[in-house]
Amino acid sequence: MKKQSKPKVAFFDFTDCEGCQLQFANMGQTLLELIEQVDIVNFREIMSESGQDYDVAIVEGAITTDNDVVRIKKIREKAKVLVTLGACATIAGVNGIKNRRPLEVAKKTVYGEKGVLVNTIKAMAVHEVVCVDYVINGCPVYIPEVVAVVKCLLMGKPYVVPNYPVCVECKMNENVCLYEKDQECMGPVTRAGCNSWCINSGNRCYGCRGLVDKPASDAAKDILQKYGLKVEDILNSFTLYNDSMGEKYDQEFK
């Protein structure tokens, strides 16, 4: 990417709630500083213009229709760099819930007899269709991580997503383990990088960042052993994001 010119950035959304783009828009002073480094040409959360000349595409949302497949491929062809923003784009997010059952059954459940007329396919993360250069996990995304990824992008450096569980960050933040409070938490199997944001705020981890690699061996063994848990026990208790990662689960445990 040429240093003498600002990279042109465009935001696109597919099947999502646009909450992660809203997080981006809510960066306040940081967003103003970012605008000094890039030229945002398409971002309907904050502007009415809709430019189609861009270097960087930031994509929110899962791929859920044949039209989505065609559109994301066109975006990929045009963009020098493609960034996925949020759980829907990185792991299919809550859209993956429909993947639990045969597609025709899901369509009929939602749309009734008109389901046969609906153009929908298996919910997929963006990387299942096109090559992705950077990923920003979470639902919604964690602003400090957004800033870190954007800095790496501007410097032309890779961003390495942490490959250890949220439990590590939780302990560093001196939180009392939720299992001590008889509460379930997906922290032992979920990829870190959010600074245990939800637990810090009194909530639990729902696994929105996806599975850490090889969680059976690399996740927080002390937590699992202390409470007599297996990875399968944790995953079976949560379905909001976990079912969208079924293929990875199969690879890891089956």
At 10 the pLDDT is 96
Specify whether 220 is located in the same domain as 245. Answer: yes
At 45 the pLDDT is 86
Q: Which segments of the chain have a pLDDT < 50?
A: 1-2, 253-254
At 155 the pLDDT is 93
Alpha carbon distance 203, 123 (integer Å):
27
Asked if residue 62 is part of any domain, the answer here is: yes
Pairing relation of β-strands 56-60 and 134-136?
unpaired
Specify whether 207 is located in the same domain as 111. Answer: no
Asked if residue 129 is part of any domain, the answer here is: yes
At 240 the pLDDT is 85
Residues in a beta bridge with 13:
60
Per residue in 202-237, pLDDT (tens digit) is: 999 999 999 998 887 777 778 888 888 888 888 877
Q: How many domains does the chain have?
A: 2
Per residue in 162-195, pLDDT (tens digit) is: 999 999 999 999 999 999 999 989 999 999 999 9
Does the global pTM surpass 0.85?
yes
**Residue where one domain finishes, among candidates 155, 185, 207:** 155
Which of 4-27 are b and which e, b meaning 16 or more Cβ less than 10 Å from the residue's Cβ? eebbbbbbbbbbbbbebbebbeee
Look up the domain containing 192 and give its range: 166-253
At 244 the pLDDT is 52
Query: How big is the chain, counted in residues?
Result: 254
**Residue where one domain finishes, among candidates 155, 181, 214:** 155
Alpha carbon distance 48, 43 (integer Å):
8
Short-list 178, 176, 191, 75, CA closest to 142: 191
Specify whether 96 is located in the same domain as 127. Answer: yes
Asked if residue 1 is part of any domain, the answer here is: no
At 165 the pLDDT is 94
Specify whether 26 is located in the same domain as 118. Answer: yes
Short-list 210, 239, 235, 247, CA closest to 88: 210
Residues with Cβ within 8 Å of residue 84, at least 6 apart in sequence: 59, 60, 90, 125, 126, 127, 132, 134, 135, 136
Give the largest Cα separation in the chain, rounded: 57
At 46 the pLDDT is 85
Pairing relation of β-strands 56-60 and 81-85?
parallel
At 88 the pLDDT is 96
Specify whether 218 is located in the same domain as 118. Answer: no
Asked if residue 248 is part of any domain, the answer here is: yes
Specify whether 85 is located in the same domain as 145. Answer: yes
CB 97 within 8 A of CB 163: no
Specify whether 209 is located in the same domain as 188. Answer: yes
Alpha carbon distance 85, 138 (integer Å):
8
Q: Can you give the CATH number for the domain in which 145 is found?
A: 3.40.50.700
Q: Is 128 helix (H, G, I), strand (E, B) or coil?
A: helix
